[in-house]
């Protein structure tokens, strides 16, 4: 094989640029939302660190699928639709907001957030966001910096397999 083709092939294989967007670098955090199981996994330091139960969209199309980027984070987020300040027990966004750029939005429409309705976790019930127990989103919040990649999918594959496919777990 000519040297040029070998170098080109090696550059593509080891490049952080993939057809689905920037590939996580080894050790970078990576979040996977599985709508089929209503679970969220944090992959960090080359392994699945934790898996928590979630609530997702009432219908399949409400929670968009794809590879996205965290663009906004907020402590005690303000709920604009009903003018409810952060920290208010009636705020449906709970104690944290981790927004991502689904459907060409700015991270203020779709996100992973807490909830004031813990009984909704594990169900397909939201208007599109991914809900977690407040304790769960609080424990993940500091491990998910701006720029973190989030994969939203509906699959029977396990989180380790998905992490390997997207380069977040390297053997």
List active site positions.
113, 129
Q: What is the DSSP string of 48-78?
A: EEEEEE-BEESSGGGS--EEEEEEEEEES--
Neighbours of 29 (CB within 10 A): 20
Rounded Cα distance between 31 and 33, Å, is 7
Residue 108's contacts (CB-CB under 8 Å, 6 or more residues apart) are 72, 99
């Amino acid at each position: 094989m000519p040297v040029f083709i070998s170098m080109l092939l090696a550059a593509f294989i080891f490049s952080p640029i993939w057809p689905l967007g920037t590939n996580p670098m080894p050790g970078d955090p990576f979040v996977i939302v599985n709508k089929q199981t209503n679970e969220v996994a944090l992959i960090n330091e080359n392994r699945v660190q934790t898996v928590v139960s979630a609530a997702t969209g009432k219908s399949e199309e409400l929670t968009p699928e794809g590879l996205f980027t965290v663009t906004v984070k907020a402590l005690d987020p303000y709920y604009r639709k009903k003018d409810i300040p952060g920290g208010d027990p009636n705020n449906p966004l709970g104690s944290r907001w981790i927004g991502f750029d689904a459907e060409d939005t700015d991270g203020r429409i779709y996100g992973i957030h807490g909830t004031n309705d813990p009984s909704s976790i594990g169900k397909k019930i939201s208007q599109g966001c991914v809900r977690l127990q407040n304790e769960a989103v609080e424990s993940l919040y500091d491990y998910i910096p701006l720029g973190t990649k989030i994969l939203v999918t509906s699959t029977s594959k396990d989180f380790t397999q998905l992490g390997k496919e997207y380069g977040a777990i390297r053997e």
